[in-house]
Amino acid sequence: MQITGAQLIIECLIEQGVDRVFGYPGGQVIPLYDALYMNRDRIKHILTAHEQGASHAADGYARSSGKVGVCIATSGPGATNLVTGLATAYMDSSPVVAITGNVPVTLLGRDSFQEVDITGVTMPITKHNYIVKDKNELAATLREAFKIAKEGRPGPVLVDIPKNIQQDLIEYERVEIEPVKRSTSRLRDDDIEKAINLISLSERPMCYIGGGVIRSDASAELVEFIDRIDAPVCSSLMALGAVPSFNPRFTGMVGMHGTKVSNLMVNSCDLLIVIGARFSDRVISKGSTFATQARILQLDIDPAEFDKNIISDSHVVGDIKEILTILNSRLEKREHKDWMDRVQDAKRRFPMKVTLESKRPREILKALDDVLSTEKDAFVATEVGQHQMWAAQYLKHNKPRHFLTSGGLGTMGFGTGAAIGAQIANPEARVVNVAGDGSFRMNCNELATIARYKLPVVILVFNNHCLGMVRQWQNLFFQKHYSETTLDTPLDWVMLANAYGVKGMRLKADDDAEAILKSAFELNEGVVVDCEIPIDDKVLPMVAPGASINDMMGFIDNEGN
């Protein structure tokens, strides 16, 4: 059967089970958008306000559903507007396929109108990318792109398709897509035995988990593992929800804005088992003082992460779910009563209590937790900054894939797009974006998308009229030189929301947060809540840059020491 390249793209997407795509049309993808129009009963297209919003929405769709997110953009500026979203997905291992148009093959390399070498631009921030110059390679390329995005360590893949390839007639035959198998090819029994030996010899084991646990859907296996070896567990930002917050073994985040308990236990354990985590600088801080009493056992799907930032004593390469399943089947149940008593004592002594400098944000997030507790299912996305860390610290995270945040790249502007993607992927769930006024300035145009599709996304804008995290650093480390961080433009978020056709509400400093948030959710429509907070509220505790994670400022000691 011969069909156009544009129609073939649609058929290949349907082969992959894709029924939602995000994008923005332009000259070099008009044939593809014509095919989308003709197949609108088979694939729903979500028109975002900006291509960056489409890339973040595809990412949020992927993170919340476990499926591949798809975004579409035209050539030139349309394609380059995807770059930040692709880099965000790459740093956080999120499976996204980006399809871009380009000028016809005969015009490539001639500085044609809206031509850019997008494969060259995105080479460092994608798992792989392609430009299709032979129409007979289009179907195979698209199928391979999805396979690469999903297999092993997930990540974004870009496929650049010149306009003439979209218009040409191409022979098409449907293919049944086989599920991507979990990565076990490098999993060696010798490595498993070394891991079992290290765990068996340990008296003070500690687990440090990262986003790889969630990406491999290994939360159940992880909980069984920590129970089996009788160990506490701390988390990177990306792994929040992999172990429920209420689990007594969970000590909270580790690192710069982690808990005192997590940081203390990492530096007190005799074995640190690192599971799907990459030793980010925001976790280890001063590497020479990190986990100095411990042997390091690292479990990861990507061998490039071994010995990159911290040297490990042993490692196992493979899919986290598969590794933990094997370990759980072979390990004898252990007991470390003295060690676990020590952990519980530290949790009592150093609780994650609010300081005076974060009281109001904590009150708002506590109210949000209470309101969401009545929902059957709820997802929280964030932008990047103080509000992001407060949400990580104070919200309860009890399910994997329900806390969507930009970790590796730290992308201001991520949250609203991600919330849109999560709402599209989970139409019956409640979706909240916790934003700061600085970050929300970067993507508030996506309110048009929320209004257009009548998405019941609730956005909390933590409004301190400044770039809060940068101001916090200026306050603590730069002699209070508040250079260009005060946002004193007379911007009214309620009026702006109303202008887009979205409900705007105010939450003033003395208002009852729970009452107002409850009324916002009861509307069951898109809502922006302008949440007034003090300008100098801080994210605490905190490790100063370059300091040991033992040296935290701003924590509360119940014994007053």
Q: Which of 141, 20, 17 is nearest to 426 (CA)?
A: 20
Integer Cα distance of 477 and 544 in angstroms: 9
End-to-end CA distance of the chain: 77
Q: What's the pLDDT at 184?
A: 81
Assign 351 a pLDDT band (cuts: 50, 70, 90): confident
Coil, strand or helix: which one is 71? strand
8 Å CB contact between 251 and 232: yes
Average pLDDT, stretch 452-457? 98
Q: What's the pLDDT at 136?
A: 97
Provide the β-strand partners of residue 162.
102
Integer Cα distance of 39 and 119 in angstroms: 28
> Which residue in the block uniquely carries the two structure tokens 């949020």?
60
Residue 265 falls in the annotated catalytic set: no
Q: Which residues, in sequence order, are CB contacts of 527 under 8 Å at separation 6+? A: 456, 457, 458, 459, 497, 502, 503, 504, 505, 520, 521
Cα torsion at 117, 121, 122, 123 (round to 10°)? 90
Assign 561 a pLDDT band (cuts: 50, 70, 90): very low
8 Å CB contact between 261 and 235: no
Provide the β-strand partners of residue 20.
44
Coil, strand or helix: which one is 436? strand
Assign 183 a pLDDT band (cuts: 50, 70, 90): confident
Concatenating the DSSP letter of every residue in 401-415 gives T-EE---SS--TTHH
Strand order in the sheet with 271-275: 250-253, 233-235, 205-209, 271-275, 295-300, 314-317
Q: What's the pLDDT at 354?
A: 60
- Structural tokens at position 87: 């880099």
Catalytic residue among 7, 11, 51, 393: 51
Residue 298 falls in the annotated catalytic set: no
27: phi then psi, degrees, rounded to nearest 5: -55, -45
Integer Cα distance of 29 and 5 in angstroms: 11
8 Å CB contact between 507 and 513: yes
pLDDT tens figures, 288-346? 999 999 999 999 999 999 999 999 999 999 999 999 999 999 999 999 999 999 999 99
pTM of the model: 0.96
Amino acid at position 82, single letter: L
Half-sphere exposure of 200 toward its Cβ, with a 13 Å CA cutoff? 11
pLDDT tens figures, 394-409? 999 999 999 999 999 9
Residue 51 falls in the annotated catalytic set: yes
> Which residue in the block uniquely carries the two structure tokens 């804008």?
461
Catalytic residue among 206, 253, 469, 542: 469
Q: pLDDT at residue 190 above 80?
A: yes
Superfamily of structural domain 356-539? Thiamin diphosphate (ThDP)-binding fold, Pyr/PP domains (3.40.50.970)
Q: What does DSSP say about strands 314-317 and 295-300: parallel, antiparallel, or unpaired?
A: parallel
8 Å CB contact between 399 and 422: no
pLDDT tens figures, 466-493? 999 999 999 999 999 999 999 988 999 9
Integer Cα distance of 10 and 2 in angstroms: 14
Integer Cα distance of 74 and 53 in angstroms: 14
Parse the chain into domains and list their residue ranges. Answer: 2-171, 189-349, 356-539
Catalytic residue among 38, 113, 171, 308: 113
Q: pLDDT at residue 355 above 70?
A: no
pLDDT tens figures, 28-42? 999 999 999 999 999
pLDDT tens figures, 507-552? 999 999 999 999 999 999 999 999 999 999 999 999 998 899 989 9
Do 2-171 and 189-349 come out as alike in CATH topology? Answer: yes
- Number of residues that this document lists for the chain: 561
Integer Cα distance of 256 and 549 in angstroms: 7
- Structural tokens at position 233: 């567990």
Q: What does DSSP say about strands 552-553 and 542-543: parallel, antiparallel, or unpaired?
A: antiparallel
Q: What's the pLDDT at 559?
A: 66
Integer Cα distance of 465 and 478 in angstroms: 19
Catalytic residue among 114, 344, 366, 399: 114
DSSP conformation class of 211? H
Q: What's 189-349's CATH class?
A: alpha beta
Q: What's the pLDDT at 358?
A: 77
526: phi then psi, degrees, rounded to nearest 5: -65, 130
Assign 557 a pLDDT band (cuts: 50, 70, 90): confident
Whole-number mean pLDDT of the chain? 96
Distances in whole angstroms, Cα of residue 250 to Cα of each of 226, 240, 243: 10, 10, 7
Provide the β-strand partners of residue 271.
205, 295
Provide the β-strand partners of residue 46.
22
What CATH fold (topology level) applies to the domain 2-171? Rossmann fold (3.40.50)
Catalytic residue among 163, 260, 321, 538: 163
What are the respective helix, strand and coil percentages of the chain, to the nearest 5?
Answer: 40, 20, 40
Integer Cα distance of 269 and 292 in angstroms: 9
